Amino acid sequence: MRSPFLHIFSIMLGVILLSCTSRSQETNDNGAIIRDLQDIKNEKELVVLTLYGSTSYFMYRGQEMGFHYELAKQFANYLDVKLKIEVASNLDELYNKLCEGEGDLIAYNLPITKNKRDSVNFCGQEAISHQVIIQKKGKGTLTDVTQLIGKKVHVMSDRYYKRLINLNTELGGGIDIIKINPDSLSTEDLIQMVSKGDIQYTVADNEVAKVNKTYYNNIDINLIISFDQRTAWAVRKGSPELAKAANEWFKNSTQTTAYTATTKRYFESSKNLPFSPVLSIVNGKISHFDHYFKKYAPQVGWDWKLLASLAYTESNFDSTAVSWAGAKGLMQLMPRTARAMGVPRGKEFYVEESIKGATKYIATVENYFKELEKKERIKFVLGSYNAGVGHILDARALADKYGHNKDIWSENVEKYILLKSNREYFTDPVCKHGYFRGTETYNFVRDIIARYEFYQDKIKE
């Protein structure tokens, strides 16, 4: 017969075990499971919610990048847990996913508003957001909003347009506002047009403007046209300890080397390597590395001059080059790609290892486009080398959906790699890899092909 003592002990043990697990099963009014700091540490995973964008999160050459992504990764390391990223389509979905327990923390510049304080705890380092005029530097640079009267400003048909309309009303009219439909251009396209002198003015958030200034050093982003808006990250109301940890981490992290390097990478470092304006070809020689190009190009069925054109575009034949994103060496392989292609750690700057690794990578990428005619396949491979295969597959899917030829690069797929910086397109259901700044890839393919044709004309071997 079972002892009464053992029966009572079993009941007490069950109560203790239930109390130990009940914390992780705590739910809010919506029935969503609430996880706080200890639950996250117990489960060894921090689920971070964000949006695709040039400063938040994106894929570049197959690698996760973005200012807020890198900070979230540093925060996860601080907590000694793994980081898992979940991407929403818009701000409303971000908040819904957080409140429904699909993530622990939103890593994005969220406007701090009174009505949102009822459902979330804003945390982390506060940033100041405002809208600015993008214009070229020079003698006629505007320094006051009243000087916009009589000026033509091209602006996206979104909140930038609304702010400009309100500003125009405040000034009594006079600004010539040109509304741009987002199905053809993005804010970053307009910023590039300002840099090139195609248009005079456009509008962007200061954070987006700062990133773009690292691409176009001839633009001015100092004229503010909106009130300051405080922004921060956020957690659920039921996660006070996580909010506290985020606040403590941000307070201490701004002095660390990792935080400083991340800020510099996205908002200060130039995204462009210096290039010689004219490449001199003497006695049929393109570079000091031509013998390596001749050795490895046949392994992928390429003309060695095409491989040389790729190398010039990537590094200007500088074997010590390091890009803002961390790509290294003559062929600018990302660290993860270099490892996967057999480049030994520490030998990323060895010319032959870089070229050998690059041709292996080209062979791998070609498998995604083997059904295409060779001339077209080369363009798709070049695009993938610059952007990563995923973004090119997205552009092909968009081209197919919107009535263009997904097997032709020029005037077809290249149009949609450009549009992948436009939210309307990178959130399209056929896109699987989110935001991408396609201007670089568009120019990359065109530049390499044009330079290759120049080499072909000058060098007959």
246 near 105, Cβ under 8 Å?
Answer: yes
Strand order in the sheet with 219-224: 202-205, 131-136, 219-224
**Rounded-to-integer distance, Cα 40 and Cα 31, Å:** 19
332 near 341, Cβ under 8 Å?
Answer: no
Radius of gyration of the chain (CA): 26
**Rounded-to-integer distance, Cα 65 and Cα 63, Å:** 6
Single out the catalytic residue among 70, 188, 207, 314.
Answer: 314
50 near 65, Cβ under 8 Å?
Answer: no
**Rounded-to-integer distance, Cα 397 and Cα 401, Å:** 6
174 near 149, Cβ under 8 Å?
Answer: yes
Query: Dihedral (C-alpha) 300, 277, 326, 294: value to the nearest 10 degrees?
Result: 20
**Rounded-to-integer distance, Cα 202 and Cα 180, Å:** 10
Enclosing H/E stretch for 180: strand 176-180
Token digits of residue 103:
């993530």
| Sign of the four-CA dihedral 59, 63, 69, 72 | positive
DSSP string for residues in 267-309:
HTS-SS----SS---BTTB--TTHHHHHHHGGGGT--HHHHHH
18 near 26, Cβ under 8 Å?
Answer: no
In the residue annotation, 170 being an active-site residue is answered as no
Q: Give me the active site residues, please.
A: 314
